[in-house]
Amino acid sequence: AQTVTQSQPEMSVQEAETVTLSCTYDTSESDYYLFWYKQPPSRQMILVIRQEAYKQQNATENRFSVNFQKAAKSFSLKISDSQLGDAAMYFCASLPSTSGTYKYIFGTGTRLKVLA
């Protein structure tokens, strides 16, 4: 069975500082995708960043970057220059690329608080 684990239920960061959210996963798939989604109080899940497992290069989107360690099955999210608008629940998710598999496996989430 595939699992995604987020071991930090809650994290806090000072505005303008950097924070790293942890995620580990377990999969028997040879190819898969990994995602970080953000869920603000509006409840809509918003895609933050994605990583293709066959690519060694870590994905980056503006202030958001990942540290993808395939052998360790680790996929952490780094948020630089944290802003008040970054406060939200963050979910890590995996998606097997095997044909016929259509579901994301989500972690339990990390609540990020940004302190002014």
Partner 1 sequence: KAGVTQTPRYLIKTRGQQVTLSCSPISGHRSVSWYQQTPGQGLQFLFEYFSETQRNKGNFPGRFSGRQFSNSRSEMNVSTLELGDSALYLCASSKTGQDRNYGYTFGSGTRLTVV
Q: Applying CB under 8 A, which residues contact partner 1?
A: 33, 35, 37, 42-47, 50, 52, 91, 93, 95, 97, 100-104, 106-109
Residue 17 C-beta: closest distance to partner 1, Å: 27
- H-helix or E-strand spanning residue 108: none
44 phi and psi, to 5 degrees? -75, 130
Q: Nearer to partner 1 by C-beta: 37 or 73?
A: 37
Residue 106 C-beta: closest distance to partner 1, Å: 4
Structure-derived torsion over alpha carbons of residues 28, 52, 54, 92, reported in degrees to the nearest 10: -40
Residue 100 C-beta: closest distance to partner 1, Å: 7
Q: Nearer to partner 1 by C-beta: 1 or 116?
A: 1
